[in-house]
Amino acid sequence: MPRDPYEVLGVGRDADDTQVKKAFRKLARELHPDVNSSETAEEDFKEAAEAYEVLSDGERRATFDRYGWDGLRSGGYAPQDFSGFGSLGDIFDAFFGGGGGGGGGRSGPMQGGDVGVTVDIDLLAAAQGVPVEVSFDAIARCEHCNGNGAEPGTPIETCPRCGGQGRLQAVQRTPFGQVMRTLECDQCHGDGRVATDPCHVCDGRGREVKRRTLSVDIPAGIADGQRIRLSGRGHEGERGGPAGDLYVQIHVKEHERFVRDGDDLVTILDLPAPLAALGTHVRVPLLEGEEELVIPEGTQPGSTILVRGKGMPPLRRGRPGDLRVVVNVVIPRKLSKRQRELLTELSATITPENLSSDESVFSKLRRSLFAS
């Protein structure tokens, strides 16, 4: 059984026609599939339309108030066929005197569509910021006819199909029955005029697809997946409308040595076990150049040494990221005879004190898992 129409429209049983109409108008704006992309929008709109259909008719409303839905059904009432939706503008034009928006022909200026391109850069380019060239296809004004669609020197006449209105009228079924819908003229495409001798370059469209190449400045610190917007660099607008935008999506290729984590860079340092035990000085590579790193004696596998300010630059304000060097303690393999002798002598001298640590069992487990 359908819901109570008063509940659907959110009005009281004493609501007058003006209140009913206002309530449905509000719901129609919110629920019509033209403006609402949710999965239930169509069903919700049908429900609201049926509720309005009942409450806007005095006889049906009186029957419902007395006998409910059963009384309406037994009296022969059936809701309209809601399988075809007119535009939101058609509904308001037909029942509320216009003002709904979205109807009519598109005779005014229209903004051009956006264009998207992807640019591949390496991590160093992302850190430094570089200019890159991008090439893409975009709709542009035809230079041969200057956008009017006619061969130079030939006349442009009033469209015979729409009489210069740029719009045609057609009957369309809506939830409230048949209404007159205004459509863009398919011959002049809303302009109201047609060329007697269409431009041979653009076939009378006034626009053509052109290949463009632009230099785009990639800011230092940009991350993989971020986009750069260039206003007015997209498709040309129609009938004097502004051009769309160009969106450049950045793809930062993987680096063989560094992994990015926010503005930090993470790298692995392979360190022989004896040097980890003794401590040493090593040089670690940066994106540019090298940095000397002090390895404390007794450094354990998975330990992280922080090099401040040697990560990625901030995209906006803030300090640069850090370089995190994760120590991978490497156990020597394929030992020579002399090496075996030395390690055997060393192992004979190791005491429990050499193996003691301030770490708890759980800390060691976490470090071991991280290192793996």
Residue 66 has pLDDT above 70, yes or no: yes
Which tops the pLDDT comparison, 310 or 2? Answer: 310
Q: How far apart are CA 307 and CA 315, in angstroms?
A: 20
**Per-residue pLDDT tens for 13-25?**
999 988 988 888 8
pLDDT at 68: 84
Residues 6+ apart with CB under 8 A from 121: 130, 132, 218, 250, 251, 252, 253
φ/ψ of 148, rounded to 5, equals -95, -5
Instruction: Output the CA torsion sign for 76, 77, 83, 86.
Output: positive
Q: How far apart are CA 129 and CA 218, in angstroms?
A: 5
Q: How far apart are CA 279 and CA 296, in angstroms?
A: 5
Residue 363 has pLDDT above 70, yes or no: no
pLDDT at 177: 55
Residue 74 has pLDDT above 90, yes or no: no
**Per-residue pLDDT tens for 90-126?**
444 444 444 333 333 344 677 888 999 999 999 999 9
pTM of the model: 0.59
Distance of CA 298 to the CA centre of its chain: 49
φ/ψ of 69, rounded to 5, equals -65, -35
User: What integer best gives the mean pLDDT of the chain?
Assistant: 82
- Retrieve residue 95's tokens: 């029942």
Residue 86 has pLDDT above 50, yes or no: no
pLDDT at 179: 63
**Per-residue pLDDT tens for 306-354?**
999 999 999 888 899 999 999 999 988 888 999 888 888 888 888 887 7
Residue 39 has pLDDT above 50, yes or no: yes
By C-alpha distance, which of 229, 199, 200, 224 is closest to 214?
229
Q: Which band of pLDDT confidence, cut at 50, 70 and 90, is reported for residue 172?
A: low
Average pLDDT for 276-294 = 92
Q: Which band of pLDDT confidence, cut at 50, 70 and 90, is reported for residue 162?
A: confident
